[in-house]
Amino acid sequence: MDYELSDAEQALYDRVCAFADEVVAPAAYRYDLERRLPMEIIAQMGELGLFGLPFPEEVGGQGGSYFDLCLAVEALGRADQSIGVTLEAGVGLGIMPIYRFGTDTQRAEHLPDLVAGRALAGFGLTEAGAGSDAGATQTTAVLDGDEWVINGSKQFITNSGTPITKLVTVTAVTGEETRADGSVRKELSTIIVPNGTPGFEVGPDYDKVGWHTSDTHPLTFTDVRVPAANLVGERGRGYANFLGVLDEGRIAFAALATGAAQGCLEEAVRYAKERVVFGREIGANQHIAFKIARMQARVHQARLAWHDAARKLDAGRPFKLEASLAKMVSGEAAMENARDATQVFGGYGFMNENAVARHYRDSKILEIGEGTTEVQLMIIARELGLAA
């Protein structure tokens, strides 16, 4: 497999890196303090076409690939993970379910604003007792005439409470189904709930350890009524559909983590060349140079992993194993690089205005979100034929 970027891909990456350095990075500390998603930056991302990168032109997209999306996510993640995950979740979790499984009517109604970045959407999967175990979902949707009546709650939902949030696609139990062996399991379906629907309440933003700029809320549904036509995909296919969405999303999440690891590397290299102690640059000390060399090795490994997974996705080849490998490797790389970069900076790395301090706080979630490291290990083991 060729891991070189094409000229167009390199131009895209360079363009988004420049945007991240010139627009995102200078504002990152201020918005982190304010704990507010900068809508003016999101609007500029929309104008750059970032939300439409992997979608065809006939739905308003840029006609690019999923690989293109991941390049943009990585470039943004170097400067600010919160901005990077807004794009990653906005496309992978917000738009993809409707694009992949929605009806023509649903696509015509929602995709133009979403792919242009004029609107955002969330994906309501996680519950208090149903994260990795989505089969434990308690939210229900009962068909009453030509309407679904939804009751339940979701938590940790990204892009669910912004000023431009248009909808949330939620997973809900819509009945029971009997397997071939006679056992009974919950029938899960996915349903669009537009913002502002009576009974749909968006709770206060979470007080998070990191990702302070990212929009994340709990959701509650109390006798929420939406048209039966808001069903996304076939009834009972919600479980299979969201597994496919998550497999794809893990690749973009890995790109985000790679960007974080790259950002820490760049900061550490710069500081090691500038900081003079006892008459010499600290980068001239072997223990600092070796620490940074290991950071470079982690970035390289993480980038190769997500490149491999994304190329296979775009080629229509199986990529489940590669997506989990990329997610696990890159999340660990981001966390380890954040720790090492903070050590290189010493006391300055403990100051919140420093980018590496923000990466240190932000990176832990990269080992948790969109499937924990332990879940990835389980998937990898199963793909190897082990009963993990």
**What is the full DSSP assignment across 52-77?**
GTTS-GGGT--S--HHHHHHHHHHHH
DSSP state of 276: E
Give pLDDT tens digits for 169-200: 999 999 988 777 777 789 999 999 999 999 99
374 and 295 fall within a common domain: yes
Report pLDDT for 34. 96
144 and 228 fall within a common domain: yes
pLDDT at 83 exceeding the cut of 70: yes
**Paired residues of 297 in beta bridges:** none
The predicted model gives 287-297 an average pLDDT of 98
Q: Is residue 2 part of a domain?
A: no
Residue with tokens 């009962």: 142
97 and 148 fall within a common domain: no
CATH number at 57 reads 1.10.540.10
Q: What φ, ψ does residue 258 adopt, rounded to 5°? A: -65, -40
* CB neighbour class for 11 (10 Å; exposed up to 12, middle 13-18, buried from 19): exposed
322 and 207 fall within a common domain: no
Comparing 59-63, 177-181, 297-301, which segment has the lowest mean pLDDT? 177-181
Q: Report strand pairing: 147-158 vs 231-232.
A: unpaired
CATH number at 370 reads 1.20.140.10
Query: Considering 74, 332, 370, 383, which one is annotated as catalytic?
Result: 370
> Over pLDDT 90: what percentage of the chain?
91
pLDDT at 242 exceeding the cut of 90: no
DSSP state of 232: E
Does residue 370 have an active-site annotation?
yes
The predicted model gives 126-151 an average pLDDT of 91
Q: How confident is the model at residue 139 (pLDDT cuts 50, 70, 90)?
A: very high
- Which of 105, 120, 135 lies at the terminal end of a domain, its last residue? 120
The predicted model gives 219-242 an average pLDDT of 95
CATH number at 125 reads 2.40.110.10
> Over pLDDT 70: what percentage of the chain?
99
Q: Is residue 64 part of a domain?
A: yes
Task: Give the mean pLDDT of the chain.
Answer: 95
Angle among Cα 62, 68, 73 to the nearest 5 degrees reads: 110
Report pLDDT for 71. 98
- Sequence-ordered list of residues with C-beta below 8 angstroms from that of 121, at least 6 positions apart, any chain: 90, 93, 94, 95, 98, 110, 114, 159, 165, 166, 167, 168, 169
pLDDT at 57 exceeding the cut of 90: yes
Neighbours of 45 (CB within 10 A): 22
pLDDT at 125 exceeding the cut of 70: yes
Report pLDDT for 2. 67
- Domain count within the chain: 3
Report pLDDT for 134. 75
* 298-310 core/surface letters (b: 16 or more CB in 10 A; e: else): bbebbbebbbbbb
Alpha helices in 166-210 (DSSP H): none
Comparing 111-115, 225-229, 239-243, which segment has the lowest mean pLDDT? 239-243
Give pLDDT tens digits for 326-382: 999 999 999 999 999 999 999 999 999 999 999 999 999 999 999 999 999 999 999
CA distances from 124 to 159, 191, 327 (A): 10, 10, 21
96 and 171 fall within a common domain: no
The predicted model gives 201-205 an average pLDDT of 97
Report pLDDT for 185. 84
pLDDT at 388 exceeding the cut of 80: no
126 and 232 fall within a common domain: yes
CB 141 within 8 Å of CB 175: no
129 and 98 fall within a common domain: no
* Integer Cα distance of 117 and 287 in angstroms: 45
- Which of 237, 272, 297 lies at the terminal end of a domain, its last residue? 237
The predicted model gives 90-103 an average pLDDT of 97
Q: How confident is the model at residue 387 (pLDDT cuts 50, 70, 90)?
A: confident
Q: Which residue has the higher pLDDT, 241 or 231?
A: 231
Angle among Cα 253, 25, 262 to the nearest 5 degrees reads: 45
89 and 36 fall within a common domain: yes
Q: Report strand pairing: 120-124 vs 216-227.
A: unpaired
pLDDT at 290 exceeding the cut of 70: yes
CB 252 within 8 Å of CB 54: no
Report pLDDT for 342. 98
Report pLDDT for 1. 64
List the domain range (segments joined by +) for residue 105.
7-120
176 and 231 fall within a common domain: yes
pLDDT at 223 exceeding the cut of 70: yes
